[in-house]
A = this chain, B = another copy of it.
Amino acid sequence: MKKYTDINDLENISKTIQEAIQLKKNPYVFENLGKHKTLVMLFFNSSLRTRLSTEKAAKHLGMQVMTLNVNDAWNIEFEDGTIMNLDKSEHVKEAAQVISQYADIIALRAFPTLTDKEKDTSEIVLKSFEKFATVPIINMESATAHPLQALADAITIEELKTKKRPKVVLSWAPHPKALPHAVANSFVNMMQEIDVDFSITHPKGYELNSEVTKNTSINYNQEEALKDADFVYVKNWSNYTDYGKVSNQDTHWMMTKKKLGNAKFMHCLPVRRNIVVEDAVLDSENSVVIQQANNRTFSAQIVLKKILENL
């Protein structure tokens, strides 16, 4: 593997999932693989799970980890040909090349603006680092994708499924703040690739990018959509058409124990209780969010492992 910027970089998803499940049993077995190798983690945005799980994954593989909150250092310019006389003190051309010399792998988090659709869609931060860095890039959540999360989600479904082809539903939830589409996008991509009966439910007008959803079934009736589901992935995203707007906060879309039935409840966390999902769900045995978060370590680790093997 040469990079992991979206789930298409995985050559064989089901094999990768099985390998991650194996790693989990004995996390330090490949501890020599990362010896004398350095992971540099660059955060343009804050992080809890991603920071800790990715660092832990790297250390399982014996890597050294250096972390930089980019905004504490410099403002980086991404546009080509600019006269840099304002607040940006370094161009990504230099930044990416320089950091590549201190790193064997660069992992990067850069959220969308949610105000400039074109800029977000172009993935200017991620793509610029991909272009100018001379080492492999891992996406720790970009403007439009969160492939480490999606891989952790797929691992969780594989571990917990009780039938060959479980029914999985992605169900939109209300939220007071405008949130990115990255988690939803990558989850949709992943579900399209693995053997599940997958559909999406959300209020009319809340369609994700159609280039992502493709021919995935969308149902505006949540109750109908959730019927006989085995896994329900609940997630808010802001409006994609009316870009970045919170045009619906309809509390009826909150996930409840009643709606969930016997399905497993999934969420990438952090989650707002009694807004996105009621306490009764999160505090029940049907919630698998903690296991999902644990699988973040192993999705990062299998990705790092495959990249290290290819260095």
Q: List 13 A-B contacts (CB under 8 A).
A: A28-B36, A38-B59, A48-B74, A48-B90, A48-B95, A52-B102, A53-B102, A82-B274, A89-B272, A90-B271, A90-B272, A91-B282, A95-B270
In the complex, chain B residues whose CB is within 8 Å of the CB of A176: 85-86
The reply to whether the CB of A117 lies closer than 8 angstroms to some CB of chain B is no
> Which stretch of A63-71, A143-151, A187-195, A205-213 is in the interface?
A63-71
Given A94-B270, A290-B98, verify A81-B279 contact (CB < 8 Å).
yes
Could you give, for residues 75-112 of chain A, a 1 whenever the CB lies within 8 Å of some chain B CB and a 0 otherwise? 00100011111101111011101110111000000000
Residue of B nearest to A292 (CB): B98
Residue of B nearest to A100 (CB): B290
The reply to whether the CB of A202 lies closer than 8 angstroms to some CB of chain B is no
Q: Name A82's contact: one of B52, B56, B273 (CB within 8 Å).
A: B273
Residue of B nearest to A65 (CB): B66
Interface centre among A59, A70, A99, A290 (most CB of B within 10 A): A290
In the complex, chain B residues whose CB is within 8 Å of the CB of A73: 46-48, 51
Complex alpha-carbon distance, A69 and B290, angstroms: 21
B77, A273: Cβ atoms closer than 8 Å: yes
4 smallest beta-carbon distances between A and B, as pairs: A90-B270, A84-B272, A48-B73, A101-B294
Q: Which of A283-311 contact B (CB under 8 A)?
A: 283, 289-290, 293-294, 297
A interface, size bucket? 35 or more
Copies in the complex: 3
The reply to whether the CB of A168 lies closer than 8 angstroms to some CB of chain B is no
Residue of B nearest to A70 (CB): B48
Complex alpha-carbon distance, A52 and B41, angstroms: 11
Complex alpha-carbon distance, A95 and B269, angstroms: 9
B297, A102: Cβ atoms closer than 8 Å: yes
The reply to whether the CB of A72 lies closer than 8 angstroms to some CB of chain B is yes
In the complex, chain B residues whose CB is within 8 Å of the CB of A69: 72
The reply to whether the CB of A275 lies closer than 8 angstroms to some CB of chain B is yes
